Amino acid sequence: MTFENPLALLALVAVPLLVLVFVLRERHRHRVTGRFASPALLPAVAPRPSRRTRYLPLAVLLAALTAMVVGVARPEATLSVKREEATVVIALDISRSMRANDVMPSRIAAARAAATSFLGTIPERFRVGVVAVGTRAVVSAPPTEDRQLVLDALNILRPSQGTALGDAVVVAAELGQRERGEDGVVPPTAVLLISDGARDGGETDPADAAARAKKLGVPVYAILVGTTQGTIEEELEGGFRQIIRVPADPQTLRQITSATGGRLFNALDDEGLKVVYENLQSRLGHREERRELTDFVAGGAAILLLGGGALALVYSRRVPL
């Protein structure tokens, strides 16, 4: 424990001085009393309370005085408090295959709904960022505690072309590692990748991206969106339409999650979202925080002061000293 105003502790000298004054006064009273009556007859003439009864109020009041002086010195303590900060980067696939409606109303709408649901499961102090996974990996929202900003970033996403999964994992992992907590330490970070599967373009191989995320200590969790029956329609020249099969492919997602210590979920339910949150909770740990204890000490002093006064009135009908 340290004190912001340590010189105030010099006032504690008053405590032993008051004890000395009380002892000297008691001795003087005994001598004066002995002049008018025999000490052997005093208990019968004027019964005195026990020492515990006589000295307890004084002891409590002196403790209150000590607490008041300590409170004026403004004590501070370094406490180990549970860390409540974490960062989650949602990497959402916006490739053209996400237009498929084998998951109603469409894969991209279902993915957006899963991300929105996740926002409702985590504490407000968790920072959340958004990375759009298209032909390139683009940061749509940097990690923030502003949930509305994250929702807006999710809602403006529209289907693109390719699926740069490797690039997205690297961008998301490094984005989360740039964050700093109140104590300057990088808080626990995780990536939630929502996609229908295979890589289509991008500069970074998924295996290399997974190795990078693992080195940074960022687990990647993935939710597979879509089925093997997915199709999309594309308009060709001359007004013709082409139906293209876009089956969901979990292989690349499984490779990334397995290498980084995350998990792949094959359903858009709350189970996967809950696991991501529980993983972050288990890694929160503790941090050192300095807190001023003046209010607690002052409250204790007030209670002791009232208690000492009450005891004095009950036992001796007066306040000591």
Euclidean distance between CA atoms 98 and 230, whole angstroms? 9
Tell me which of 60-64, 231-235, 247-251 is least confident.
60-64
The whole-number pLDDT of residue 277 equals 72
The predicted-structure confidence for 211-230, as pLDDT tens digits, reads as follows: 999 999 999 999 999 998 99
The predicted-structure confidence for 253-265, as pLDDT tens digits, reads as follows: 999 999 999 989 8
The whole-number pLDDT of residue 250 equals 92
The predicted-structure confidence for 3-48, as pLDDT tens digits, reads as follows: 777 777 777 777 777 777 767 776 766 565 555 555 554 454 445 5
Contact 307, 60 (CB under 8 A): yes
The predicted-structure confidence for 46-83, as pLDDT tens digits, reads as follows: 455 555 566 677 777 778 778 777 777 777 777 666 66
The predicted-structure confidence for 266-291, as pLDDT tens digits, reads as follows: 866 666 667 777 777 777 655 566 66
The whole-number pLDDT of residue 46 equals 47
The predicted-structure confidence for 77-124, as pLDDT tens digits, reads as follows: 776 666 678 899 999 999 999 999 999 899 999 999 989 988 888 888
For the chain, domains (ranges, CATH) are 2-76+292-315 (no CATH), 84-284 (3.40.50.410)
Residue 309 reports pLDDT greater than 80: no
**Helix/strand/coil (H, E, C) string of the chain?**
CEECCHHHHHHHHHHHHHHHHHHHHHHHHHHHHHCCCCCCCHHHHCCCCCHHHHHHHHHHHHHHHHHHHHHHCCEEEEEEEECCCCEEEEEEECCHHHHCCCCCCCHHHHHHHHHHHHHCCCCCCCEEEEEEECCCEEEEEEEECCHHHHHHHHHCCCCCCCECHHHHHHHHHHHHHCCCCCCCCCCCEEEEEEECCCCECCCCCHHHHHHHHHHHCCCEEEEECCCCCCEEEEECHHHCEEEEECCCCCHHHHHHHHHHCCCEECCCCHHHHHHHHHHHHHCCCEEEEEEECHHHHHHHHHHHHHHHHHHHHHHCCCCCC
Q: What mean pLDDT is reported for the chain?
A: 81
The predicted-structure confidence for 194-205, as pLDDT tens digits, reads as follows: 999 878 888 999
Burial of 52: CB neighbours in 10 Å, binned 0-12, 13-18, 19+: exposed
- The structure tokens listed for 126 are 């968790």
Higher-pLDDT residue of 64, 189: 189
The whole-number pLDDT of residue 284 equals 66
Residue 246 reports pLDDT greater than 80: yes
Q: pTM of the prediction?
A: 0.66
> Up-side HSE of residue 178: CA atoms within 13 Å toward CB?
12
